[in-house]
Structure 1
């Protein structure tokens, strides 16, 4: 019963991160935080499933490494955007 509650909480973490990411955000930093929140929900989901089926948890370490690389890349893009444009608003970017 407790395992199902933890699995439900992992799904809620991912879903709330997805809702924040899809909603209309003005700042790049809030989008990056919601992506990290979704990665945390996926990590919890992976840990629960691997423990449920009694697999090794090596893949979770690889997943955490990729999450850290994604966060560092996002922060690097954020810093370069602030240096070139002066803010992190999406409206200041010219996509075309």
Structure 2
């Protein structure tokens, strides 16, 4: 009988990589990035085309991780958006 793959190994977080945000193991692709794409209406298959280094199991694992840790990932997304707004504001003010 064949053994299955432990999908928990697909998601990792390291303090010194991607600001400790959860990401796909072996990459710097964060769960946040994949979720943001998915929230714009992209299917897992469309995301796989954008990230050819990922397979569907990794993408679905990321989406499952999001649903299991929604509050944390939503906070990451909110912080990212706030940073973007800050940078845009500073750029428009000529501070950059």
TM-score relative to the length of structure 2: 0.36
- Asked which structure has the greater CA Rg, the reply is 1
Q: Which has the higher strand share?
A: 2
Greater share of residues in helix: 1
- TM-score, structure 1 as length reference: 0.36
Q: Identify which of structures 1 and 2 has the higher relative contact order when contacts are C-alpha pairs closer than 8 Å and 6+ apart.
A: 1
